[in-house]
Amino acid sequence: MAKTQFMTLARHIIEGEKRHPEATGELSRLLSDLSLAAKIISLEVNKAGLVDILGFTGNNNIHGEQVKKLDMFAHDTLIKAMDHGGHFCAMVSEEEEDIIHIPAKHKIGKYVLLFDPLDGSSNIDVNISIGTIFSIYKRITPEGQPGTLEDCLQQGVNQIAAGYIVYGSSTILVYTTGEGVHGFTLDPSFGEFLLSHDDIKIPKKSHFYSINEGNYLYWHPGLKKYIKYLQEEDEATERPYSARYVGSMVADIHRNLLYGGIYMYPADNHHPNGKLRLMYECNPMSFIVEAAGGRASNGKQRIMEIQPESLHENTPLFIGSEEDVKMVEEFMANDHC
Ligand code: AHM
Ligand code: MG
């Protein structure tokens, strides 16, 4: 049935801030700038398949201009949308090794933004869901100066907002400021994000698992046993579980957030610290999943309590329905290499 009211993203954020008299409205403005970048990236993602048909072949488009890869386009778009609002003192992107400083002509703000502009790179050219992930912190060094590494390398528990945009059959933006997780679907005809998933709660236990099983031989023995356990038949515990793995973390975790499930990118013999990045992949997704009632760990420790040491460090990730994540932690703890 059609909803009787429309709630736009902008209004939802403002309503949220009204519940906090100390709020300055800055977070609303900042998230609204981010949603503009999301709309631009969504538009570009949707026409990606037309690139060859319209003559954008090779490295140059029909105007003789250099064609940007979609992940670089998303990176540039986010910077263009976010560097002049006066909100940030520094930014970090998966696509750039060092801190991105705010140009001198713009006001330096009190927040830090970390993002993965387009996650799921292997799916970009094959029309499978991909996503943008973002994480926001308050700076810890004095205001007015450029942001430093110290501002960027905070534990995930200090995040004040995080979210992702999944570019799938629809474009959906999901965000949290720690109080509930909310999803908004982009109406492409008039370009508004409308509330479609209010106060998302992840089921405590699921019967779905997401992992790249091609790496099985390289896993920890406890993890091998856990996956075999999920595949056994037992009606009472809803086993065997079903496997679901798209290869875009945002899409895999989005599905698990709505239906329940556990997503894993473990350490293995080829990836001693896993593959995913702590600062702009694992921390924001952990903040969202925990705010929805789920759990996220590296197998031994809560992701958001890891003290980061570098901008692009990796961590193993086990994230999703609380009981499922606890169970894989137990399997791994009980079976040492
Ligand atoms: P990326 O940042 O290069 O896109 O890599 C991250 C992605 C995740 O979205 C996805 O879950 C994972 O890598 C897939 O890796 P694999 O192909 O090893 O299963
Ligand atoms: Mg990524």
Please check whether residue 316 is in contact with residue 286, taking contact to mean a CB–CB distance below 8 angstroms.
no
Question: Which residue has the CA at smallest separation from atom 6 of ligand 1?
Answer: 120
pLDDT band at 331 (very low <50, low <70, confident <90, very high): very high
| CATH code 3.30.540.10 for 9-197 | yes
Closest ligand 1 atom to residue 214 Cα is 19
- Two tokens at 222? 């406890």
Give yes or no for residue 54 having a pLDDT over 60. Answer: no
Q: Which ligand is nearest to the CA of 122?
A: 1
* pLDDT attached to residue 109: 94
277 lines ligand 1 (CB under 6 A): no
130 lines ligand 1 (CB under 6 A): no
Dist. CA 240 → ligand 2 center (Å): 30
Residue 281 per-residue DSSP state? I
Q: Is the CB of 253 under 6 A from ligand 1?
A: no
Cβ contacts of residue 330 below 8 Å, gap of 6+? none
pLDDT per residue as tens digits for the range 165-193: 999 999 999 999 998 999 999 999 999 99
Output the pLDDT for position 102. 94
Residues 193-197 have a mean pLDDT of 96
Ligand 1 closest atom vs CA 130: 9
Ligand 1 contact via 249 beta carbon (within 6 Å)? yes
Contact present, 176 and 161 (Cβ < 8 Å):
yes
Q: What is the pLDDT of residues 289-306, one digit of tens each?
A: 999 999 999 999 999 999
Which residues line ion ligand 2, judged by CB < 5 Å?
116, 119
What distance in Å separates the CA atoms of residue 264 and residue 245, rounded to the nearest whole number? Answer: 10
In the chain, where does DSSP find H-type helix? Answer: 9-18, 26-46, 70-82, 149-152, 221-231, 249-259, 283-291, 322-333
Question: Residue ranges of the domains in the chain?
Answer: 9-197, 208-333
Provide, rounded to the nearest whole percent, the portion of the chain with pLDDT above 90.
78
Q: 319 alpha carbon to ligand 1 midpoint, in Å?
A: 15
Higher pLDDT, 28 or 76: 76
Cα(123) to centroid of ligand 1, in Å? 9
Which ligand has its closest atom nearest to the C-alpha of 319? 1
120 C-alpha to center of ligand 2: Å? 6
Whole-prediction pTM? 0.94
Check residue 62 and give its pLDDT.
47
* Nearest ligand (C-alpha, residue 130): 1
- What class is the 208-333 domain? alpha beta
pLDDT at 181: 97
- Which atom of ligand 1 is the closest one to the Cα of 263? 11
Q: What does the pLDDT look like over 73-114, one tens digit per residue? A: 999 999 999 999 999 999 999 999 999 999 989 999 999 999
- Which residues lie across from 136 on neighbouring strands? 113, 161
pLDDT at 121 over 90: no
Ligand 1 pocket member 121 (CB < 6 A): yes
If you measure from the C-alpha of residue 17 to the centroid of ligand 2, how many angstroms do you get, rounded to a whole number? Answer: 30
Rounded to whole angstroms, how far apart are CA atoms 17 and 169? 31
pLDDT at 58 over 60: no
Q: Tell me the two tokens of residue 140.
A: 């810890």
118 Cα nearest atom in ligand 1: 4
pLDDT tens by residue, 6-24? 899 988 888 877 777 677 7
* Averaged pLDDT for residues 2-8: 75
The confidence band for 56, taking pLDDT boundaries of 50, 70 and 90, is very low
Q: Is the CB of 120 under 6 A from ligand 1?
A: yes
Is the Cβ–Cβ distance between 330 and 296 less than 8 Å? Answer: no
Residues 41-64 have a mean pLDDT of 64
Q: What is the per-residue pLDDT across 61-71, written as a single tens digit (0 to 9) for each?
A: 444 555 558 88
Residue 55 pLDDT more than 50?
no
Amino acid 57: pLDDT: 46
CA-nearest residue for atom 16, ligand 1, is 247
Q: How confident is the model at residue 50 (pLDDT cuts 50, 70, 90)?
A: low
Average pLDDT over residues 33-41: 95
The closest residue, in CA terms, to atom 15 on ligand 1 is 247
- The pLDDT tens digits of the residues spanning 212-236 come to 999 999 999 999 999 999 999 999 9
Confidence of residue 1 (pLDDT cuts 50, 70, 90): low
- The pLDDT mean for the chain works out to 91
Q: Quick one: which ligand is closest to 249's CA? A: 1
